[in-house]
Amino acid sequence: MVSADNLLVVTIQENIRSRVRRYLSPSAAGVDVSAKVLPPGFTQEGSRRPVPLPDGWTHERVFALLQTVSIDLAPPAEIEGYLRQDFDRFLHTWNLVKDESGTVLEIGANPYFTSVLLREFTALEHTMTNNFDVAVTGMCSQRVSYTGADGISKDHVFEYQSLNVENSTFPYPDETFDVVVFCEVLEHLQMDPVAALHEMRRVLKPSGVLLVSTPNVARLENVARLIAGANVYDPYSGYGPYGRHNREYTRHELVRLLGFAGFDPDEHFTVDVHQHQSDLYANPHVLCSVIPEDRLPDLGQYIFCRAAKNSDVLRSDRPAELYRSVHDVEIVSWD
Q: CA-to-CA distance for 329 and 324, rounded, in angstroms?
A: 10
Q: What mean pLDDT is reported for the chain?
A: 86
Rounded-to-integer distance, Cα 201 and Cα 224, Å: 37
- How much is the CA Rg of the chain, to the nearest whole Å? 21
Span 242-253, average pLDDT: 95
Instruction: Find the domain containing 170 and state its range.
Output: 4-332
Q: What is the DSSP letter of 239?
A: T
Backbone angles phi, psi at 307, to 5 degrees: -140, 150
The predicted pLDDT at position 122 comes to 98
Distance of alpha carbon 163 from alpha carbon 160, whole angstroms: 9
Q: Which residue in 219, 280, 264 sits closest to 245, CA to CA?
A: 219
What is the tens place of the pLDDT at every residue in 173-231?
999 999 999 999 999 999 999 999 999 999 999 989 999 999 999 999 999 999 999 99
User: What's the whole-number mean pLDDT along residues 280-296?
Assistant: 86
Structure confidence at residue 38 as a pLDDT band (50, 70, 90): very low
Query: Would you say the C-alpha torsion 260, 262, 266, 271 has a positive or negative sign?
Result: negative
Q: Over the stretch 94-112, which tens digit does the pLDDT of each residue have?
A: 999 999 999 999 999 999 9
pLDDT value for 328: 87
Degrees, nearest 5: CA angle 44-51-253: 90
Phi, then psi, of 302 in degrees rounded to 5? -130, 150
Cα–Cα distance, 27 to 291 (Å, whole number): 18
What residues are paired with 180 via a beta bridge? 105, 210
* Residues β-bridged to residue 159: 141
Query: What is the rounded CA–CA span in Å between residue 49 and residue 33?
Result: 17
Task: For 41-93, write each residue's pLDDT tens digit.
Answer: 443 333 467 899 999 999 999 999 999 999 998 999 999 999 999 999 999 99
In the predicted structure, residue 19 carries a pLDDT above the cut 50: no
Handedness of CA 299, 302, 308, 314 (dihedral sign): positive
91 within 8 A of 53, measured Cβ to Cβ: yes
Read off the CATH number of the domain in which 42 is found.
Answer: 3.40.50.150
Please state, for a pLDDT cut of 70, what percent of the chain lies above it. Answer: 86
- pLDDT of residue 152 exceeding 80: yes
Could you tell me the pTM of the whole model? 0.85
Cα(166)–Cα(148) distance, rounded to whole angstroms?
33
* Nearest by Cα to 255 from 334, 164, 179, 166: 334
The pLDDT, as a whole number, for residue 48 is: 64
| Close Cβ partners of 79 (under 8 Å, ≥ 6 residues apart) | 69, 70, 71, 111
Determine the 3-state secondary structure of 87 from DSSP: helix
Q: Which amino acid is at 98?
A: K
Q: Give yes or no for a contact between 49 and 96, defined as CB atoms under 8 angstroms apart.
A: no
Angstrom distance (rounded) from CA 80 to CA 68: 10
What are the φ and ψ backbone dihedral angles of 314, each rounded to 5 degrees?
Answer: -65, 130
**Looking at this protein, which amino acid is placed at residue 82?**
Y
Total domains in the fold of the chain: 1
Residue 161 near residue 139, CB atoms below 8 Å: yes
